Structure 1
Amino acid sequence: MARSGPPRVLLSRPLPDAVVARAHSLFDIELRKSTLPMSEAEMRSALALYDGVMPTLGDQFGAKIFAEFGRPRCRILANFGVGYNHIDVQAATDHGVKVTNTPGAVTDATADIALTLILMSARRAAEGERLVRSGQWAGWHPTQMLGLHVTGRKLGIVGMGRIGQAIARRCHFGFGMEVFFHNRSPKAVDFPATQVSSLTELAAQVDILVVAVPGGAETHHLIGADVFAAMQPHAHFINIARGDIVEEMALVTALQTGQIGGAGLDVYEHEPHVPQALRDMDNVTLLPHLGTAALNVRTDMGMLVLDNLAAFFDGKPLPNPV
């Protein structure tokens, strides 16, 4: 691609030092210092002023943002993250803008957070930690804070993609769990697992139900009152995917009424807002979207962003188009 001088690129959030250093070596970089999502005005300015932009979760590049452009100066949105439901890919394509993401780098870290939430929720770890900090712990006794022993339990995975499979492997090989899953298309995997055609049927037969589908219009409120009603009273619900996959108020009701035993959440429907009802319940473990929050993982993600940008500006095939 012909150009005078290095491409001008906006990085929409602070990034690990190694990523920033490499970015400076490749492009004319502006690093946005705010950790908050970009405003509509910032997004429109970015499309007009930069050759490429690195958006991430919360930067809502919808059709409305592209509407006043024919072909904006920005020709690539290199998303930081595997999920890209905050970007209207069709609108971007219609305006000549490519979209990429960072799969692969996030798989194991996100699966690890799922295991963290499974264990914390089932064994009441967050509740126990709060008890110790409160100074109210009276000491060990045989019926203190009895939780759910996860070894040998039945695991249900909703969405058997990279992350779903990584979670299932950890649970099967590490904890001897029997794996069941629901997927929109037939899926063959290289470990023992049974595909279930109905989502409610899956919910009814497992002890732990984990959501691992991508976000977007197709999965909005995929998990609602019918799924929670099908679950067993001792079962735990885990979400490490996207918050709006779950009808959050239906989850609140299921927890408050004892339809399910507990929940572990890393994402929320209207993030970063977390309903007071969820915060008030002891049978819910709440994490602040920690799925990929490890320095080496975030560095790898940033490097994939730069790989996508470099390939685009060099006229090479994009490593991770969406």
Structure 2
Amino acid sequence: MAEAQRQRRIVAVRRLSEDQLAALSAIAEVEYFEDVNEANRADFLSALSQAHGLIGGKLQFDEAMLVEASSLQVVSTISVGYDHLPLEAMNRRGILLCNTPDVLTETTADTAFALIMATQRRLVELANLVREGGWRSHIGREHFGFDVHGKTLGIVGAGRIGAAIARRGALGFGMPILYTAASSKPVLEQELGAQRRDLDALLAEADIVCLSVPYNDATHHLIDADALARMKPSAALVNVARGKVVDEPALIEALRCGRIRAAGLDVFAEEPLPADSPLATMDNVVTTPHIGSATHETREAMAQLAVDNLVGALAGSGPLTAVNEDAWRRTVAEAKGV
């Protein structure tokens, strides 16, 4: 190992495979934390203060911690979303941020469609009926669900994941597709017959509204009481985006009073979902513990892409998927007086 490589340091947070750790160790000294908690937080901060690279899932740090991490050059998050990271501060510091888009697209779309199926057919509620010994006669109208095939599916945010959900609905279940997006999606329109709508129109027309937008200031509480009031009383809301895209108190009230029929939620404003949240016990809500990408295959692929990003960035060949590469290059060039 070259001397420059020996002097590099990487902090890894989250379980990585032996091969992945070996790839990191080939370019730097690696300090590994399976998790960061109160017991080891001081050790983590000490390691971060000397690190050139940081890799992990659910990384949590703020601008103050960046000040202490004076050598940090690259952060490689094992996630698509990065709203938990101080991007503007990283841009000012010239710290490259890498994420893991696309490798989880199909898996997250599977999760969304599982929630669509579960909410429409009341799968969890009726499975619990059997488990609890409540199935004593033929199922009557009070336990009927609703068809999925042929229903209008509204996709709020037709990026990679939204498009994958739309394809499942249109090609697998004959669902008319509506979508919102900053610009039109000619491929989806030609391939699926999808139609672009503004949010208000989509909410009014869709039988199932599926959220797949990134979380930012513009999408905070995008689905609030007013938005919920625009939906059909028979409609279901499915969220695989971020919890804070939805105003949860407003959603709870809408579900309680029948303003909408049901919800399927994989993400929440606070995670883990508090045990006393009404969402955890409502019969017309299906909740899952943020499992959008949680399969063996996909989590391995995400970790591998994050490792490849970090190795490429530190070794000089460049990252595969970077969030702020242009801002990072400008800051680095300015620091060099270029």
Does structure 1 conserve the Cα–Cα contact (< 8 Å) formed by 2:53 and 2:74? yes
Separation (CA, whole Å) in 1 of partners of 2:206 and 2:182: 19
Question: How many residues of Structure 1 are paired with residues of Structure 2 in the alignment?
Answer: 318
The corresponding residue for 1:8 is 9
Residue 21 of structure 1, CA deviation: 5.0
Residues 55-134 of structure 1 correspond to what in structure 2 (within 5 A)? 55-57=56-58, 59-66=59-66, 68-69=67-68, 72-134=70-132
Higher mean displacement: 22-31 or 266-275: 22-31
- Going from structure 1 to structure 2, the CA distance change for 1:317 and 1:23 (only over 3 Å counts) comes to closer
- Going from structure 1 to structure 2, the CA distance change for 1:38 and 1:20 (only over 3 Å counts) comes to farther
Paired amino acid for 2:33: R
Cα displacement string for residues 161-201 of structure 1 (whole angstroms, at most 9, x for unaligned residues): 0000000000000000000011123332242100002x122
The corresponding residue for 1:298 is 299
Paired amino acid for 2:218: E
The corresponding residue for 2:49 is 48
The corresponding residue for 1:174 is 172
Separation (CA, whole Å) in 2 of partners of 1:90 and 1:184: 23
Does structure 2 conserve the Cα–Cα contact (< 8 Å) formed by 1:153 and 1:177? yes
Paired amino acid for 2:30: I
Instruction: Provide TM-score, normalisation by structure 2.
Output: 0.87
Separation (CA, whole Å) in 1 of partners of 2:264 and 2:38: 25
Residue 316 of structure 1, CA deviation: 1.8
The corresponding residue for 2:246 is 246
Cα displacement string for residues 207-248 of structure 1 (whole angstroms, at most 9, x for unaligned residues): 000000111223211111111100111100000011111111
Residues 100-249 of structure 1 correspond to what in structure 2 (within 5 A)? 100-143=98-141, 145-190=143-188, 191=191, 192-197=193-198, 199-249=199-249
Task: Indicate the RMSD between aligned Cα atoms, in angstroms.
Answer: 2.3
Paired amino acid for 1:213: V
Residue 256 of structure 1, CA deviation: 0.7
Cα displacement string for residues 144-167 of structure 1 (whole angstroms, at most 9, x for unaligned residues): 511110100000000010000000
- Going from structure 1 to structure 2, the CA distance change for 1:31 and 1:169 (only over 3 Å counts) comes to same
The corresponding residue for 1:307 is 308
Secondary structure of the corresponding residue to residue 263 of structure 2:
strand
Residue 17 of structure 1, CA deviation: 5.3
- Going from structure 1 to structure 2, the CA distance change for 1:133 and 1:15 (only over 3 Å counts) comes to farther
Instruction: Structure 1: state its 5+ residue gaps.
Output: none
Residue 104 of structure 1, CA deviation: 1.2
- Going from structure 1 to structure 2, the CA distance change for 1:35 and 1:44 (only over 3 Å counts) comes to closer
Secondary structure of the corresponding residue to residue 83 of structure 1:
coil
Paired amino acid for 1:262: A
Separation (CA, whole Å) in 1 of partners of 2:8 and 2:138: 62
Give the number of the structure whose alpha-carbon radius of gyration is greater.
2
Residue 18 of structure 1, CA deviation: 5.1
Does structure 2 conserve the Cα–Cα contact (< 8 Å) formed by 1:19 and 1:299? no
- Going from structure 1 to structure 2, the CA distance change for 1:72 and 1:227 (only over 3 Å counts) comes to same
Secondary structure of the corresponding residue to residue 156 of structure 1:
strand
- Going from structure 1 to structure 2, the CA distance change for 1:61 and 1:42 (only over 3 Å counts) comes to farther
Residue 89 of structure 1, CA deviation: 1.2
Instruction: Structure 2: state its 5+ residue gaps.
Output: 324-338
- Going from structure 1 to structure 2, the CA distance change for 1:153 and 1:287 (only over 3 Å counts) comes to same
- Going from structure 1 to structure 2, the CA distance change for 1:42 and 1:224 (only over 3 Å counts) comes to farther
Paired amino acid for 2:74: I
The corresponding residue for 1:289 is 290
Separation (CA, whole Å) in 2 of partners of 1:237 and 1:176: 19
Secondary structure of the corresponding residue to residue 219 of structure 1:
coil
- Going from structure 1 to structure 2, the CA distance change for 1:10 and 1:154 (only over 3 Å counts) comes to same
Paired amino acid for 2:154: G
Secondary structure of the corresponding residue to residue 6 of structure 2:
coil
More helix by share: 2
